[in-house]
Structure 1
């Protein structure tokens, strides 16, 4: 076999391999890719946020029921009558929903990661919650306290969500590449290496 005739093929193959790069796709790339605002991606992000919004509320409600020795039911999460100022359980539910919004800020920062979308996602979460509560309860929410809690929850999610996502955007924009992940040193903090020559 003439190996000299294979050299052009090998060179062409090396050039071709340089054009093909497999992208490193991770969960954060999927959720924070700023170039993609497709309806399917936004829908998935909304569903993920809504899932965390309800799973946190369910876990907290179940924990409170277990601590107090009460029977847990989904009415605690999906019924607007459970939120009230008349008893300790109603006050606990108010605190639970507000704390739920605080934790959802973290998920919004990680999943959405864009400050200009924080308003949309916060309002969408509460609009979906209104529809689900309406369907589950069988009547439109007529509890003023429930509405106040929803408004406060929305304010928390919008304000803190906008701030945290903006902080993440600025951090990624201005500090990207300044820190070497392998050495843990900033680019500006690198010291020149002085080679010692042996003059003996």
Structure 2
């Protein structure tokens, strides 16, 4: 009787874990880099001194002053831009939830380490809205991307005003002028 060794799946598992970890790190870097750029540009436009504490502290988010409102609006805009990163980096609608939640859990951990546990209801509401934006739009855009790649490959691309090669060679793709 001959025994066969079990297939070595540990290499595949470790590669998958490494890929997930790298995607989380890249998404988190883009999330904070975008926020820092937005905050810095806004500080320059308003003539305010820029501070990294705006990114890593819950105490600045408030609806009671213009800086707090501005930061809240910029965080929401950052969430909108992060949807693009989720679509490009992650690309799967089933994973959009996981990665959007992970971004916010890591954000909570960094804020907690930097300035203590968030005690502001405004900060929590902002995080809920931000997370909802990233989950909803991230799922929608990645699903759109998946469907486009899966079901619409080879069909006329009306958005770009061109036809794919496989569609242009099919009999159904002939124009009315060619049929005359």
The bucket for the TM-score relative to the shorter chain is 0.7 to 0.9
Give the Cα separation in 2 of the matches to 1:74 and 1:130. 16
Of 36-45 and 123-132, deviating more is 36-45
1:160 to 137, 141, 149: 137
1:176 Cα deviation from its structure 2 partner: 2.2
Give the Cα separation in 1 of the matches to 2:77 and 2:137. 13
1:151 to 122, 128, 136: 128
Partner of 1:56: 34
* SS at structure 2 position matched to 1:91: helix
1:91 Cα deviation from its structure 2 partner: 0.4
**In the alignment, does 2:65 pair up with 1:82?**
no
Partner of 2:169: 190
* SS at structure 1 position matched to 2:41: helix
**In the alignment, does 2:149 pair up with 1:172?**
yes
TM-score under structure 1 length normalisation = 0.72
Partner of 1:71: 49
**In the alignment, does 2:118 pair up with 1:141?**
yes
Computing the radius of gyration from Cα coordinates, the structure with the larger value is: 1
1:191 Cα deviation from its structure 2 partner: 7.1
Say what the alpha-carbon RMSD is for the aligned residues. 2.0
* SS at structure 2 position matched to 1:148: helix
Give the Cα separation in 1 of the matches to 2:50 and 2:41. 9
Q: 1:82-111: CA deviations, max 9, x gaps?
A: 100110010001100000000000000000
Partner of 2:109: 131
Question: Quick check: 2:154–2:167 contact (8 Å CA) kept in 1?
Answer: no
Within 5 Å, give how 1:26-37 maps onto structure 2. none
Pair 124,82 (structure 1): closer, same or farther in 2 beyond 3 Å = same
Partner of 1:9: none
